[in-house]
Amino acid sequence: MVSFSCFSRISWLIGSLGNRYHWRESRPQREGWVIRHTFVASLVCVSGLAAIGSVAGLSAGQQNSELPAAARNYWAFKLPIQAPLPEASVRFQHPIDRFLEAARQEKSLRPAPRAARLTLLRRAYLDLIGLPPSPAESAAFLADASPDAWERLIDGLLASPHYGERWGRHWLDVARYADSSGFEQDYDRPNAWRYRDYVIRSFNQDKPYDVFLKEQFAGDELDTRTDDTLIATGFLRAGPRVAFREKDNPERRYEYLDDLIATTGRGVLGLTVRKRRRTTRRFTRSRRARRRSERKSGRSRRLTKRS
Amino acid at the residue 43: L
> Can you give the pLDDT at residue 94?
84
User: Are residues 78 and 53 in contact, defined by beta-carbon separation less than 8 angstroms?
Assistant: yes
| pLDDT of 82 over the 90 cut | no
Please name the residues in contact with 80: beta carbons below 8 A apart, sequence gap of 6 or more: none
Q: Please state the domain extents for the chain.
A: 31-46+164-304, 95-161
Mean pLDDT of 172-192: 84
| Strand partners of residue 303 | 35
pTM of the model: 0.66
Look at residues 304, 264, 283, 273 and name the one whose alpha carbon lies nearest to residue 77: 283
Q: How far apart are CA 284 and CA 148, in angstroms?
A: 54
Residue partners of 220: CB distance under 8 A and separation at least 6: 34, 35, 36, 37, 38, 229, 230, 233
Rounded Cα distance, 261 and 264, in Å: 5
Nearest to residue 214, comparing CAs of 230, 200, 201, 237?
230
Q: Is 11's pLDDT higher than 90?
A: no
Rounded distance between C-alpha atoms, residue 291 and residue 274, angstroms: 10
Q: Are 293 and 39 in contact (CB under 8 A)?
A: no
Q: Where do runs of H (alpha helix) occur along the chain?
A: 6-20, 41-55, 69-73, 95-106, 117-128, 135-143, 149-158, 161-174, 192-204, 209-218, 227-232, 250-264, 287-298
Q: Enumerate helices (H) and strands (E) in the chain, giving the number of each.
A: 13, 2
Top-confidence residue, 120 or 225:
120
Q: Which helix (H) or strand (E) holds 99?
A: helix 95-106
What is the 8-class DSSP label of residue 39? -
Confidence band for 120, pLDDT divided at 50, 70 and 90: very high
Higher-pLDDT residue of 270, 32: 270
The residue count of the chain comes to: 307
Mean predicted lDDT score pLDDT of the chain = 75
Residues 14-40: tens digit of each pLDDT: 455 444 444 444 444 443 333 334 445
